[in-house]
Amino acid sequence: MLQTKLSSKGQVIIPKPLRTAHNWQPGQQLIVIDTPEGVLLKPAVTTFSETSLEQVAGCLHYKGKAKTLKEMEEAIARGAQEQMR
């Protein structure tokens, strides 16, 4: 288990093995989330830049009859129920 200290200015040094494992560089913006177990740090910027549907739709490679809006909504509902289990 790695340990660190809180400085008099409220700063914490994240141990190098963790910075390396998460590829966090100096100046990295982090989101600080208070949880019942402690404090969670997450990168503020996603790894991927924002894209539009037009930019990524070509990678979907679906061949077959087009799905109706009702079929898509039913599939989304099934997926949500599966994740809740």
Residue range of the domain that includes 21: 1-46
**Residue 75 included in any domain:** no
pLDDT, one tens digit per residue, over 68-85 is: 999 999 999 999 999 887
In DSSP terms, 6 is beta-bridged to: 12
**Residue 54 included in any domain:** no
**Residue 24 included in any domain:** yes
- Distances 24 to 5, 18, 51 between C-alpha atoms, Å: 19, 8, 23
- Provide the pLDDT for residue 64: 87
CATH of the domain at 30: 2.10.260.10
Number of domains in the chain: 1
Helix residue spans in the chain (DSSP H): 16-21, 53-56, 69-84
**Residue 17 included in any domain:** yes
**Residue 56 included in any domain:** no
Instruction: Name the pLDDT band for 6 (thresholds 50, 70, 90).
Output: very high
**Residue 3 included in any domain:** yes
